[in-house]
Structure 1
Amino acid sequence: MKNKKMLLIFTAIIFSLSCSNENGVKNNNIKNIKNLKTEQEYLKSIDYSNIADKVTQNKIHEILENAKVDSDNIDLFLKSVNYYNEATENKGLIKSGFLNSKNINPNYDEAAIQQIWDKKNKNFPGFNCRITAFTLMKDYIKMEKPVIKAGEMLFMDMESLKNVPFKLFSQNEKDKFVNLFSEIPTEMTKDVRVHAKNVKDAWKERGIVFDKNSKISMISVFFHFNDDPKENILFVGHVGILVPEKDGKLLFIEKLAFQQPYQALKFNNRTELNDYLMNKYDTAWGQPVAKPFIMENDELLKEYRINPNNKN
């Protein structure tokens, strides 16, 4: 029980931050991390928005619509964005458009945002990355087998879905959400190739199938937990949606954490996206567990590479 409580506490910390080859490890998408190409310069700046103004929201609506995302899901996403922005009085947000920043990990006053939020939302913890990503991605994920029981790591998500102020998901969609995001058993190794294969195998066992014809994709940052020596698990500590734009750029949409805002970021390629995410989440030192790793749908991101500022 003590280890379970430690696991839940560590989860809360994460919240605040927060054709396939059957052989898995031999898949070309799961490369030897030491041999990944690093010729491209590491990301130095980002273009990002908090989706706070009508012009930006209309533009993102158009991009999602061009990617064939259902208009009802887009409307639900933007309704959630506006609910959060209004409830937090636009605290710390970019008021309009996109901003170029040399700080690739923008800072927000989470404590101040929490105080404002709590005045208006006594029982609703808010929207997080998983709820946000699933809102846009749910039609492109099929569930062919019975739902598994919700894992302990989803306790805050389930509380939010229970108290959300407007209908967001049907019961079938909630079951799919649980099936997708509940923690995944793994083994004690730092080899992310092994963990990526375990994710792929677990989702296959759960009947999770990603639509190969979808223009959008789910970008998941997995964390390896080993708080109980007898139990190793993988969990989606952060997730967002990647959408192609007509000009060739990539739009990444995310909700940083319950009491951190929505962000939309523009990247030239997936290597830049990888660098942005690994800069934010590959920060631990001296840990016995594997580094965070990034999946695009059910494959290890081809452009995956570690944070050069953390070579531990």
Structure 2
Amino acid sequence: MKKIVLTLFSLVAIACQEKKTPTTAAINTSQVAEEKATSTLTYSNLVDTATQDEVQKALTAAGIAEQNITSFLEQVNLFNQTIGDKAGLVSKGFVTIDSLLPKYDEVAIQTDWTTKYPTFQGYNCRLTSFTLLRDLIAFPDKKFANKGGDEVLFIDRESLRNAPKKLFTTKEENDFFALFTEVPTANTKDINAHLQAMQRAWKERGISFHYKGDPTKASLISVVFHSQITPEENMLFVGHVGVLVPFESKLLFVEKLAFQEPYQVIIFANRTELSDYLMNRYDVEWEQPNAIPFIMENDTLMDGYRPNPYKGIGR
């Protein structure tokens, strides 16, 4: 297996008019300063029934099928009940903290999880997001022909194989890999070039989004990473992904942090706050040969995206 350089982290938009996508060079510190960053986070881990009901209503209103929400909540309950109350989850409702990085007892989580499921890694961000949005994304009828490797998704594949119940149909599994299999790209730090590579690949794979441009519907939020395997061999992959839905007068972001890390639902006032949260977690490298991560909403650059305003500070 080829070693993926950069950021596997231990292996783990919507606009009314078209606008020019910024390049890495164009997104500078003066633009970052246009909107003040906030370093508080309001989130829940979906432990209590009342919060699950509240989130379920938001997901339903955003066009997500009832059976997909039911499957998602089954996954949430499987995780929360398996790890018990030692992990530091929010036990009821939403809480607000003065940080963008909630703290969990990852050792306790891993211990409890592997004790019960020694061969099942759990569900990650990609499996969770696809569970919810599989009906809102169009895929071709033909089988996806993976011409690349399987460096990024091999644990996803193992989890699908070892899950306690079958998660997707054969067709849905094919669609999952069509969406998330890595994409070849150029050796450049130009985000616009990488964005176009992702858009081109998804188009060639026959992928499109049913409710693209509709602010009342759910959208897929993908954090895309550039990995430089060698100077001549570069790829893009969705390193983290979640689901964004309207929530009262704000936004609700639904995510699974990692295979053996918690589910989170986070309330944001706008997409810039969402960008700052995600980039604070993933845009953390200095002087790297690859481009910084960028965020897509469905198949366009997310409105409000910007580099990590906290880089070097940590929030």
Q: TM-score, normalised by structure 2?
A: 0.90
Equivalent runs, 1:10-29 vs 2, <5 Å: 11=8, 13-15=10-12, 28=19
The Cα shift of 1:278 comes to 0.6
Residue among 65, 69, 72 paired with 1:74 = 69
For the residues of structure 2 that align with 1:173 and 1:241, how far apart are their CA atoms?
Answer: 18
Q: Is 1:210 paired with 2:209?
A: yes
Equivalent runs, 1:104-123 vs 2, <5 Å: 104-123=100-119
For the residues of structure 2 that align with 1:93 and 1:8, how far apart are their CA atoms?
Answer: 32
Q: Is 1:265 paired with 2:266?
A: yes
Query: Is contact 1:221-1:238 (8 Å) kept?
Result: yes
In structure 2, the partner of 1:139 is 135
Query: Is contact 2:6-2:228 (8 Å) kept?
Result: no
Query: Is contact 2:41-2:98 (8 Å) kept?
Result: yes
Alignment coverage as a number of residue pairs: 300
In structure 2, the partner of 1:194 is 193
Classify the secondary structure of the residue corresponding to 2:178. Answer: helix
Q: What do residues 240-271 of structure 1 show as CA deviations (whole Å, max 9, x unaligned)? A: 000002x2210000000011100000011101
The Cα shift of 1:75 comes to 0.3
Q: Is 1:87 paired with 2:88?
A: no
% identical equivalent positions: 46
Q: Is 1:130 paired with 2:130?
A: no
Classify the secondary structure of the residue corresponding to 2:50. Answer: helix
Q: Structure 2 unaligned segments of length 5 or more: list them.
A: none
* Larger helix proportion of the pair: 1
For the residues of structure 1 that align with 2:109 and 2:35, how far apart are their CA atoms?
Answer: 37
Q: 1:29 to 1:160 in 2, by over 3 A?
A: farther
Q: Is 1:157 paired with 2:156?
A: yes
The Cα shift of 1:38 comes to 3.5
Q: Is 1:251 paired with 2:252?
A: yes
Equivalent runs, 1:168-187 vs 2, <5 Å: 168-187=167-186
Classify the secondary structure of the residue corresponding to 1:13. Answer: coil
Classify the secondary structure of the residue corresponding to 2:10. Answer: helix
Which structure 1 residue ranges, 4+ long, deviate > 4 Å from structure 2?
A: none
The Cα shift of 1:178 comes to 0.2
Query: Is contact 1:126-1:164 (8 Å) kept?
Result: yes
Query: Is contact 1:255-1:262 (8 Å) kept?
Result: yes
For the residues of structure 1 that align with 2:293 and 2:266, how far apart are their CA atoms?
Answer: 20
For the residues of structure 2 that align with 1:308 and 1:216, how far apart are their CA atoms?
Answer: 27
The Cα shift of 1:69 comes to 1.0
In structure 2, the partner of 1:24 is none
For the residues of structure 2 that align with 1:20 and 1:69, how far apart are their CA atoms?
Answer: 18
Moved more, 253-262 or 161-170: 161-170
The Cα shift of 1:230 comes to 2.5
In structure 2, the partner of 1:225 is 227
Q: Structure 1 unaligned segments of length 5 or more: list them.
A: 22-26
The Cα shift of 1:68 comes to 2.1
For the residues of structure 2 that align with 1:29 and 1:56, how far apart are their CA atoms?
Answer: 39
In structure 2, the partner of 1:166 is 165
In structure 1, the partner of 2:27 is 33
For the residues of structure 1 that align with 2:269 and 2:74, how far apart are their CA atoms?
Answer: 28
Q: CA RMSD in A?
A: 2.2
The Cα shift of 1:14 comes to 4.8
The one-letter code matched in structure 2 to 1:97 is G
Q: Is 1:101 paired with 2:97?
A: yes
